[in-house]
Amino acid sequence: MNLYDTHAHLNDEAFADDAAEAVARAEAAGVRRLNVVGCDPASSAAAVTMARRFAAVYAVVGVHPSDADRYDDAFEEKLRRWAAEEEKVVAIGEIGLDYHYDDSLAPELQREVFRRQLKLGRELVLPVVIHCRDAMEDTLRILREEEAAGGLPAGVFHCFSGSWEQAEECLDLGFFLGFDGPLTFKNAKKPVRVAANAPFDRLLIETDCPYMAPEPVRGRRNEPAYVAHIAAKLGEIRGVSAEEAAERTYRNGLALFGRK
């Protein structure tokens, strides 16, 4: 199979002792490319370092909404330099809004940093990787406003968990939808409906490792090799083989993240 894990956190401390082995296991499972995603300045730098080290690894750099207070002018310039100097930097992310926790950063700060990184993606002609948790209304509003103000970069809603109606809005804005472990869970209803009905050429698969391992390895530390299970489930939902689901989402990943 040709597999593309479009969202992995091999820069997480969970892989401190065996990141190289995890990459090797992924390649043995058919993973041809994987994106290591940053959440803050340090993890973004680690993603760039891993992309330099491993042929299959590409870097996504940016600031997660939970770390929005770490975004400043100096880091924005760092993002510009990486985009100019590192051809394996393929996106800005993960960015977005997260209102899930009572002690989440102030929504006003999250929204400001989200807009700044959207504008940066547009400026650099790089796609964005969007994290949205309990904040879909504000996320879509900001995207519509930015589209009207100057246009949007391409991008993906990573770990999409919204309704079909929300998925339609994301698709209308031009975004891809990323699916990971929860697609395989027995109680999955909304993601299965979305995966069944969205255009196949707008679907991506991802692990979000080390989190949310898919069935049948749920409960273990997740890793990129397990993206094969998500391809198999997507194939089942769409009525195609796991190999075809893998190939089609691999091509979709190249369409979004393959720098011209």
Asked which of 30-34, 105-109, 207-211 is least confident by mean pLDDT, the reply is: 105-109
Which CATH number characterizes residue 44's domain?
A: 3.20.20.140
pLDDT for 105 equals 87
- H-type alpha helices, the chain: 19-28, 41-53, 73-85, 107-124, 136-149, 164-172, 190-197, 227-238, 242-257
Percentage of residues of the chain with pLDDT beyond 90: 97
Query: How many other CB atoms sit within 10 Å of the CB of residue 111?
Result: 19
Total count of domains within the chain: 1
Please check the confidence at residue 168 and state whether its pLDDT lies above 80: yes
Q: How confident is the model at residue 260 (pLDDT cuts 50, 70, 90)?
A: low
Residue 110: domain span? 3-257
pLDDT for 101 equals 83
- pLDDT of 10-56, one tens digit each? 999 999 999 999 999 999 999 999 999 999 999 999 999 999 999 99
